[in-house]
Structure 1
């Protein structure tokens, strides 16, 4: 392990060791962490597919006490040391139970929605290892599940990951979920966040109920060639 990585690991062990201890008297929560990821679309951008013209984005995972919040960098609002996650990619996670609440603000689907679910898997380490960005990583997959498969750093003791994953044996360094990949590019300890205030505005539903809403709204569109007329233009629906 190189010297710079050893320093990061030492800082993380000190920080995470305070996560479940007594609350710090300082207004700044000791042990709070921010993991910064590069969120990148799997498919390349094409001029023929306007819905596919998505660029790389910075995706943040805040860990404060027993809570975590995953959010795009542009929607991370901090006021008075409190994080206010916003936007359709915001996700609030309970690290103890694996329960999460995420937002979807899609107006086409009748949003905003507050969607609840659980992604606390049991994870199995595989025999596959490789070095990613100078960090030694192991490949893991959920027990009794085929997906997702991701690479974690055994030496970075972070149990949460992007999109509400919990119960992990280490920090996610690289993963693919759906149409995007997530690559860890930075770890920040003690960022000055003492609490997370997740927005409660939206129609509550479970993941199963949300999937039915998607099928009910987008199903007819997909049967109609995957397009619809909006404001005189055509919006392509990609599933």
Structure 2
């Protein structure tokens, strides 16, 4: 996204009262903001791998009031101005608390599951900066945590990020989570979405319970020196 476009987006955000993290002084409901990312596998597909057909996909992050919903573009269904995110990448986040609910459809794990957790990190700015897509960006990492490390736009005040991240000091421009990277492609203001309806279908569990299920079912597959990466609804066994 070139600098002139970024400036235009910022002006549009101010005009429509969608600078999230700030209170809107008008009685009019705030419009929605959509960040579009390219979701890309870190590891190249290999022959015989069930994820071999995986390729770059568009990943959407909707922000409406104090809610953020993430879904792949192909799984974003809009009816009567209501967003219905679906698929294993669907995630609904409460920006005020950092709590989230995400869906995982992995049949190998006995899904679908509705997984709850909280990712309201505190973030530390590093001394590293660079220009990405015409935007000045800073490298940040969560306080007292090893991951994720990501790049944020210094002047785009969006507190939500992909995969349910909250409390950010700016919009995520580039990050890695699990075995995928997320790169900001563009920003859309006022897309005509007034609400989010998240699925209630799936077995409820916490993130910790889900990790225990993963260990129980996939643990035997890793006994021969393999490793496992989980992210964005994808599980990859690497020998």
Q: Would the TM-score normalized by the shorter structure come out above 0.5? A: yes
1:44 and 1:23 map into 2 onto residues whose CA distance is 50
Please list every run of 5 or more consecutive structure 1 residues that lacks an aligned counterpart in the other structure. 227-235
In structure 2, what is the equivalent of residue 238 of structure 1? 237
**Which residue does the alignment assign to 2:18?**
16
For 1:113 and 1:49, the matched residues in 2 are separated by: 23
- Per-residue CA deviation, residues 70-106 of structure 1 (Å, 9 max, x unaligned), is 1000100000000011111100000000000000111
User: What pairs up with 1:56-75 in 2 under 5 angstroms?
Assistant: 56-75=56-75
Q: Secondary structure at the match of 2:108?
A: coil
RMSD, aligned CA:
2.1
In 2: Cα distance, 1:43 partner to 1:90 partner: 22
Asked if 2 retains the 8 angstrom alpha-carbon contact of 1:16 and 1:157, the reply is no
Aligned residues: 226
Q: Which residue of 2 aligns with 1:221?
A: 221
| CA contact 1:222–1:237 (8 Å) conserved in 2 | no
Asked if the contact 1:32/1:192 (under 8 Å) is kept, the reply is yes
Q: Give me the whole-angstrom Cα distance separating, in 2, the residues matched to 1:164 and 1:114.
A: 14
2:173 corresponds in structure 1 to: 173
SS at match of 2:218: helix
How far residue 6 of structure 1 moved from its aligned partner, in angstroms, is: 1.3
C-alpha contact (below 8 Å) 2:31/2:194 kept by paired residues: no
Q: Secondary structure at the match of 1:174?
A: strand
Match of 2:186 in 1: 186
Please give the residue correspondences for 1:25-64 in structure 2 after superposition, counting only pairs within 5 Å. Answer: 30-47=30-47, 49-64=49-64
Cα gap change, 1:52/1:225 in structure 2, threshold over 3 Å: closer, same or farther? farther
Change (3 A) 1:17 1:48: closer
Higher alpha-carbon deviation: 64-73 or 11-20: 11-20
How far 1:125 sits from its partner (Å)?
A: 0.7
Deviation (angstroms), 1:4 = 2.5
1:191, distance to aligned residue in structure 2 (A): 0.5
Per the alignment, residue 116 of structure 1 pairs with 116
**What is the CA-CA distance between 1:225 and the residue it aligns to?**
7.9
